[in-house]
Structure 1
Amino acid sequence: MKKIRAKKVAKASAILLILFSFSLSIPAEAATPILPGKDRDMERASVQMFQNAIEMYKEKEFWKAARELIVILDFYSEFSKIDGVVYYIGECLYNMKNV
């Protein structure tokens, strides 16, 4: 049982690491400018996704929470709570390892 769980955690960690590495490899200059109206919409959507991810985290659904947070990180790196996003991604990865 522990071997299977360890394999799943290792696989999940590898996938998240690849996704995170890919998002960091895109230079900031390559990002298209976001219009002010769209910025508000992205902020609002990101707040909702962040709140949903926190709820998933509290319910110990670490994989789902990490997935939501990575979407925010990939698509809206200017999010006002991006530091919280990175923190909870780390917490999710840590807790997946310990579950």
Structure 2
Amino acid sequence: MILDHHVKQELLRTVRSYLSYKLGISDTKPVLSENPLYNQKTGIFVTLHKNQDLRGCIGHIIGHLPLKEALFEMAEAAAFSDPRFPPLSRNELQDI
């Protein structure tokens, strides 16, 4: 799946908003726009960087879920379940 710049920016904003929600900073869970692309099952990796250093990365090569579901699942896993790093903290979010 090839993503254009607009879609990439929306996904990035959504992941940041979702992590803010999961950390209790925001009360609102973000929602993706109604793009048919987001209903496709596709492989996905969410990679988090903190000041250009790897901070978490988890994904699936093969699509088991629609992108609109997998994005949230992989964002949460990269932030809180990557065994190489401690769970993301509120203080770190601004640097992600």
- Structure 1 or 2: more helix by fraction: 1
Q: Give the TM-score, by structure 2 length.
A: 0.33
Q: Give the TM-score, by structure 1 length.
A: 0.32
Report the structure number with the largest CA radius of gyration.
Answer: 1
- Structure 1 or 2: more strand by fraction: 2
